[in-house]
């Protein structure tokens, strides 16, 4: 890369776009100029990668979400130009960090599933795999969160406000999308995915909805101004905003429109590309294309594919279905019943009658197959795609798909043995496990440059950045005092940086010498932030009773967004903020423990919090968290896991050793045994500490104005509400074990050398959780593709 040409490009860009020199440009303008300059340097290589893929089998990843975060820093890291560009900007008197901080996150996803898609994009390109992503270009990504009067308030996310230098609008590749009540354009925006080293550049294609014509002049001339604009608005609404829920949500018409818009555009694009390369004979489609469906959100791709082959290419239904059964594979990300998508059949029929007809045909084919196998009608009922007026998306995906995978070993076993057991009996060969992973480039090389340098120094090269299993070699330093001390000093540096950032963003001062105990993830009852809060409240009471309690100083750090319509999740945020205030008002406690709930937790915030964490809290009810990926990011940055035997925690502990983590609580089997005679009230009656904690929810301790705002939480735990059983997530049953294990944490943390050793063992054994490993398994075990040479 030419330093001089980047400078020249930036000068030219600023002149042409803003009418000023770089020297006079604002930081946002510099960000735009620099990003565009980098784009100009990669377009040729991007083109070369695309061309190389023309003679290979390709995999297409279709996902409604991509939680990309910022692009600039990551792209510089992957191009291995970070330091060079930093120097170059210094010559212009510009600080690269400040420029990076200007960039808005591309938050086109909710949480784990969307971030996984982003990590997979990075790893595919780094592994030189022919993979293309398809997604939606939401104008507004995940809402921004702030707190007002101790409660979450949402604001619109306007990630495009400084422009979008990281995509290219491909007007010529536009396709039309037909709904029963309207026809719209889908315009692709291509985002380059730069693999580490910069040799391979893949594509993420994001579709944007636009009206066929900007304006209906007939209506306008008739002075029907509102009507003239209505059509345009209705169209643009399709990709206006990301739905902010990451579990349930039933029956929203616009959401269904979004899903069909995504898959129709993507499938049309794939078929067009196939025809250009291989002609009109679709028998070979599966030889050239594999399609991965990221959860059920894009499952309408299946009937859409069949529709195109039948209605537009003149194939028979049977033949088209046969081809589809070799092309599609499906990833399941959840066991929660309420999160399995079931769409109202009537709604679907109304919006796309032809697609609905095809789904009926698919269902009929399934029934015929089961009849031939001699299944009884009762049995067949369990498999139906259309059942009781609902379309079961997962059923369609498993029947038509040639593979279905879970995202961690435990999760896949639960799918096979319980949730999808009947499907497993029918198609045992379709079931696979693909344990999730994370990209070490963003989550270590970019986010923790200090630790990266130490690792490169100790391993003698930076090869580990592309082969994370090499971190294993770090185990040989487990008794090396120099390494252990440097590890501690790096952690301290990251904690100071986070403290500064929290001071700037939240106006709160935290002590970098305290233990940073971190729980960051979406807010959900099953993730049990409330259990963590209950522990903190108990600790508050203990400290009030005995200010000399022998514990290290602790800062509890939370970050979480609640779905705006999820009342109970919002109450948990409110409760944690109230506990933080209570502690701050109590002199004998506030110098020992502190609670910080950061606002607007996001990918870029995670990049600061995770490297600074001493302890990783992963405390979901066993059996509920499919995998988790934050757990892997924290491990990679040297935080031992404080967690339950759930999701990928099981594998994390198997890799790094039980002795280097803090595992507590009920396991899946325990919960299954307890389920039918669980009475949380017994725990409350028998444990004075639990009673004291829960009573504080309603006796004014946390709610001095006595509004009763925490009564719902109290009752949800002790009596159950709206026909739900009390304490569905077993907080009371796990409280005692939680407490004992956290006391063990405090004991361990006293021996800082020992703690550093645990930290080192976690880093050294995190190699298995690279998304490079995960994506290579998808490539060889599902898609049948291999790296380009
Ligand atoms: C469904 C219907 C209507 C509207 C929205 C949705 C919806 C949207 C997002 C349902 C679920 C999601 C997201 C789920 C998710 O993030 N799951 C997480 O996936 C991670 C990656 O595999 C796992 O690590 C987590 O355990 C899992 O919770």
Q: What's the 282 CA to ligand 1 centre distance in angstroms?
A: 33
Probe target for ligand 1 pocket from 108, 109, 113, with the most ligand atoms within 8 Å of CB: 113
Tokens of 264: 């129709």
Q: Which of these, 426, 365, 442, 396, lies nearest to 611 by C-alpha position? A: 442
Question: Residues with Cβ < 8 Å from 576, sequence gap 6 or more?
Answer: 529, 533, 558, 595, 597
| 494 within a domain of the structure (yes/no) | yes
CB 727 near ligand 1, within 6 Å: no
Dihedral angle, C-alpha 215, 219, 221, 224, nearest 10 °: -110
| 366 within a domain of the structure (yes/no) | no
Alpha-carbon distance of 771 to 361, in angstroms, equals 38
Question: Residues with Cβ < 8 Å from 761, sequence gap 6 or more?
Answer: 475, 478, 656, 657, 660
Length of the chain: 789
Q: What's the 7 CA to ligand 1 centre distance in angstroms?
A: 43
CB 110 near ligand 1, within 6 Å: yes
Alpha-carbon distance of 464 to 447, in angstroms, equals 16
Alpha-carbon distance of 65 to 296, in angstroms, equals 12
How confident is the model over 104-161, as pLDDT tens digits?
A: 999 999 999 999 999 999 999 999 999 999 999 999 999 999 999 999 999 999 999 9
Q: What's the 609 CA to ligand 1 centre distance in angstroms?
A: 22
The pLDDT value recorded for residue 339 is 80
Question: CB-based burial of residue 27 (10 Å sphere; 0-12 exposed, 13-18 middle, 19+ buried)?
Answer: middle
How confident is the model over 604-658, as pLDDT tens digits?
A: 999 999 999 999 999 999 999 999 999 999 999 999 999 999 999 999 999 999 9
Alpha-carbon distance of 688 to 668, in angstroms, equals 27
The pLDDT value recorded for residue 2 is 79
Query: Which ligand 1 atom sits nearest the alpha carbon of residue 250?
Result: 3
Q: Which of these, 238, 762, 215, lies nearest to 487 by C-alpha position? A: 762
Helix residue ranges, H only, 585-679: 587-590, 603-609, 630-636, 649-656, 668-674
Query: Does 629 qualify as catalytic in the annotation?
Result: yes
Alpha-carbon distance of 184 to 189, in angstroms, equals 16
Query: Does 128 qualify as catalytic in the annotation?
Result: no
| 749 within a domain of the structure (yes/no) | yes
The pLDDT value recorded for residue 250 is 65
Q: Which of these, 679, 686, 709, 689, lies nearest to 697 by C-alpha position? A: 709
At 733, the pLDDT band (50, 70, 90 cuts) reads very high
Annotate 128-180 with three-state secondary structure. CCCEEEEEECCCECCCEEEEECCEEEEECCCCCCCCCCCCEECHHHCEEEECC
| 420 within a domain of the structure (yes/no) | no
Q: Which helix (H) or strand (E) holds 230?
A: helix 225-236
Probe target for ligand 1 pocket from 63, 67, 112, with the most ligand atoms within 8 Å of CB: 112
CB 407 near ligand 1, within 6 Å: yes
Per-residue pLDDT, averaged over 265-279, amounts to 97
The pLDDT value recorded for residue 1 is 65
CB 339 near ligand 1, within 6 Å: yes
The number of CA neighbours under 13 Å toward the Cβ of 510 is 33
Query: Does 333 qualify as catalytic in the annotation?
Result: yes
How confident is the model over 161-208, as pLDDT tens digits?
A: 999 999 999 999 999 999 999 999 999 999 999 999 999 999 999 999
Residue scoring higher pLDDT (54 or 558): 558
Residue nearest to atom 12 of ligand 1 (CA): 246
Residues 556, 532: contact at Cβ < 8 Å?
Answer: yes
DSSP-derived secondary structure letter, 140:
B
Residues 737, 610: contact at Cβ < 8 Å?
Answer: no
Q: Which of 521, 524, 617, 739 is catalytic?
A: 521
Q: What's the 295 CA to ligand 1 centre distance in angstroms?
A: 8
How confident is the model over 303-358, as pLDDT tens digits?
A: 999 999 999 999 999 999 999 999 999 999 998 887 889 999 999 999 999 999 99
**Biggest CA-to-CA distance, the chain:** 83
Per-residue pLDDT, averaged over 756-774, amounts to 98
The pLDDT value recorded for residue 251 is 65
| 453 within a domain of the structure (yes/no) | yes
Residues 328, 301: contact at Cβ < 8 Å?
Answer: yes
Query: Which ligand 1 atom sits nearest the alpha carbon of residue 111?
Result: 16
| 345 within a domain of the structure (yes/no) | no
CB 247 near ligand 1, within 6 Å: yes
CATH code, domain with 479: 3.40.50.2000
Backbone angles phi, psi at 376, to 5 degrees: -75, 160
How confident is the model over 371-426, as pLDDT tens digits?
A: 999 999 999 999 999 999 999 999 999 999 999 999 999 999 999 999 999 999 99
Query: What is the gyration radius of the CA atoms in the chain, in angstroms?
Result: 27
User: Domain range spanning residue 624?
Assistant: 441-665+739-771
Long-range pairs for 629-633: beta carbons < 8 A, 24 or more residues apart:
629/112, 629/115, 629/116, 629/119, 629/436, 629/437, 629/438, 630/112, 630/520, 630/521, 630/606, 632/436, 632/437, 632/438, 632/766, 632/769, 633/438, 633/443, 633/606
Tokens of 728: 């569905």
How confident is the model over 438-497, as pLDDT tens digits?
A: 999 999 999 999 999 999 999 999 999 999 999 999 999 999 999 999 999 999 999 999
Q: What's the 334 CA to ligand 1 centre distance in angstroms?
A: 7
Q: Which of these, 439, 430, 411, lies nearest to 118 by C-alpha position? A: 439
The pLDDT value recorded for residue 259 is 98
Q: Which of 185, 434, 441, 522 is catalytic?
A: 522
Question: Residues with Cβ < 8 Å from 598, sequence gap 6 or more?
Answer: 502, 505, 506, 557, 558, 559, 605, 609
CB 244 near ligand 1, within 6 Å: no
CA angle 181, 293, 260 (to 5 degrees): 5
Q: What's the 332 CA to ligand 1 centre distance in angstroms?
A: 9
Question: What residues pair up with 207 in beta bridges, in sequence order?
Answer: 136, 188
Is residue 218 over pLDDT 90?
no
Per-residue pLDDT, averaged over 205-220, amounts to 87
| 708 within a domain of the structure (yes/no) | no
Residues 528, 572: contact at Cβ < 8 Å?
Answer: no
| 637 within a domain of the structure (yes/no) | yes
Q: Which residue has the tokens 């290419």?
A: 313
Q: Which of 70, 257, 333, 495 is catalytic?
A: 333
Looking at 326-340, 493-507, 549-563, which range is the least confident one? Answer: 326-340
Alpha-carbon distance of 718 to 712, in angstroms, equals 10
CB 245 near ligand 1, within 6 Å: yes
CB 410 near ligand 1, within 6 Å: no
The pLDDT value recorded for residue 337 is 80
Is residue 225 over pLDDT 80?
no
Span between the terminal Cα atoms of the chain, in Å? 23
Is residue 721 over pLDDT 90?
no
Query: Does 51 qualify as catalytic in the annotation?
Result: no
Tokens of 225: 């101004």
Mean pLDDT taken over the chain: 97
User: How many domains are there within the chain?
Assistant: 1
Residues 324, 293: contact at Cβ < 8 Å?
Answer: no
CA angle 634, 435, 632 (to 5 degrees): 0
CA 450 to the chain's CA centroid: 25
């Amino acid at each position: 890369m030419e330093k001089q040409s980047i400078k020249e490009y930036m000068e030219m860009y600023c002149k042409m776009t803003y009418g000023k020199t770089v020297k006079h440009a604002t930081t946002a303008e510099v960000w735009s100029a620099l990003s565009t300059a980098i784009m100009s340097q990669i377009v040729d290589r991007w083109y070369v990668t695309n061309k190389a893929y023309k003679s290979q089998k390709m995999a297409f990843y279709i996902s409604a979400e991509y939680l990309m975060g910022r692009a600039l820093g990551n792209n510089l890291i992957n191009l291995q130009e970070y330091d060079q560009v930093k120097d170059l900007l210094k010559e212009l008197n510009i600080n690269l960090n400040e420029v990076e901080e200007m960039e808005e996150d591309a938050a086109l996803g909710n949480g784990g599933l969307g971030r996984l898609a982003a990590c997979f994009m990075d790893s595919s390109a780094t592994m030189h795999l022919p993979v293309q992503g398809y997604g939606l270009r939401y104008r507004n990504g995940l809402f921004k969160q702030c707190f007002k009067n101790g409660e979450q308030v949402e604001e619109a996310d306007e990630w495009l406000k400084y422009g979008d230098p990281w995509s290219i609008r491909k007007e010529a590749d536009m396709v039309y999308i037909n709904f029963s009540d309207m026809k719209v354009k889908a315009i692709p925006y291509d985002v380059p995915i730069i693999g580490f080293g910069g040799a391979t550049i893949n594509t993420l294609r994001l579709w944007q909805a636009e009206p066929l014509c900007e304006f209906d002049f007939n209506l306008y001339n008739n002075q029907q101004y509102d009507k003239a604009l209505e059509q345009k608005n209705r169209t643009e609404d399709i990709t206006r905003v990301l739905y902010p829920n990451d579990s349930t949500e039933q029956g929203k018409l616009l959401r269904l429109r979004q899903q069909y818009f995504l898959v129709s555009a993507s499938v049309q694009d794939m078929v067009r590309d196939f025809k250009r390369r291989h002609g009109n004979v679709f028998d070979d489609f599966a030889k050239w294309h594999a399609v991965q469906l990221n959860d059920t959100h894009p499952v309408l791709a299946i009937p859409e594919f069949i529709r195109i082959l039948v209605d537009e290419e003149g194939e028979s239904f049977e033949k088209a279905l046969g081809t589809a059964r070799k092309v599609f594979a499906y990833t399941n990300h959840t066991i929660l019943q309420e999160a399995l998508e079931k769409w109202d059949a009537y709604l679907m029929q109304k919006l796309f009658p032809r697609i609905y007809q095809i789904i009926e045909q698919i269902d009929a084919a399934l029934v015929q197959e089961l009849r031939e196998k001699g299944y009884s009608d009762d049995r067949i009922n369990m498999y139906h795609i259309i059942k009781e007026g609902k379309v079961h998306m997962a059923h369609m995906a498993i029947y038509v798909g040639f593979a279905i995978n879970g995202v961690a070993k435990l999760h896949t076993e639960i799918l096979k043995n319980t949730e999808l057991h009947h499907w497993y009996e029918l198609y045992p060969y379709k079931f696979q496990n693909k344990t999730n992973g994370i990209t070490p480039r963003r989550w270590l090389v970019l986010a923790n440059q200090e630790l990266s340098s130490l690792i490169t120094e100790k391993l003698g090269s930076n090869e580990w950045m592309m082969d994370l299993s090499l971190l294993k070699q770090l185990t040989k330093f487990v008794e090396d005092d120099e390494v252990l001390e440097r590890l501690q000093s790096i952690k301290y540096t990251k904690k100071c940086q986070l403290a500064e950032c929290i001071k700037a963003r939240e106006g709160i001062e935290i002590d970098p010498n305290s233990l940073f105990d971190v729980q960051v993830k979406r807010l959900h009852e099953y993730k049990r932030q409330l259990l963590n809060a209950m522990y903190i409240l108990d600790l508050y009471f203990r400290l009030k009773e005995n200010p000399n309690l022998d514990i290290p100083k602790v800062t509890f750090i939370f970050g979480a967004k609640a779905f705006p319509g999820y009342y109970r999740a919002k109450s948990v945020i409110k409760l944690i903020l109230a506990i933080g205030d209570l502690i701050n008002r109590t002199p004998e406690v506030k110098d020992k423990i502190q609670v910080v709930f950061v606002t607007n937790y996001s990918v870029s915030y995670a990049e600061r919090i995770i490297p600074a964490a001493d302890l990783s809290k992963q405390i979901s009810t066993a059996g509920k968290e499919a995998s988790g990926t934050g757990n892997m990011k924290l491990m990679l940055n040297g935080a031992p896991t404080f967690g339950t035997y759930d999701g990928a925690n099981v594998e994390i502990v198997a890799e790094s050793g039980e002795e280097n983590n803090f595992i507590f609580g009920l396991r899946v089997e325990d919960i299954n045994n307890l389920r039918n005679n669980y009475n949380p009230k017994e725990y409350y009656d028998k444990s004075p500490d639990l009673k004291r904690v829960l009573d504080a929810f309603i006796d004014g301790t946390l709610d001095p104005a006595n509004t009763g705002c925490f009564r719902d939480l109290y009752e949800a735990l002790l009596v159950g509400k709206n026909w739900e059983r009390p304490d569905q997530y077993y907080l009371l049953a796990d409280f005692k074990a939680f407490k004992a294990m956290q006391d063990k944490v405090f004991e361990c943390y006293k021996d800082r050398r020992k703690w550093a050793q645990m930290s080192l063992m976690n880093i050294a054994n995190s190699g298995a959780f690279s998304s490079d490993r995960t994506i290579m398994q998808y490539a060889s075990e599902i898609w049948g593709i291999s790296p380009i040479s």
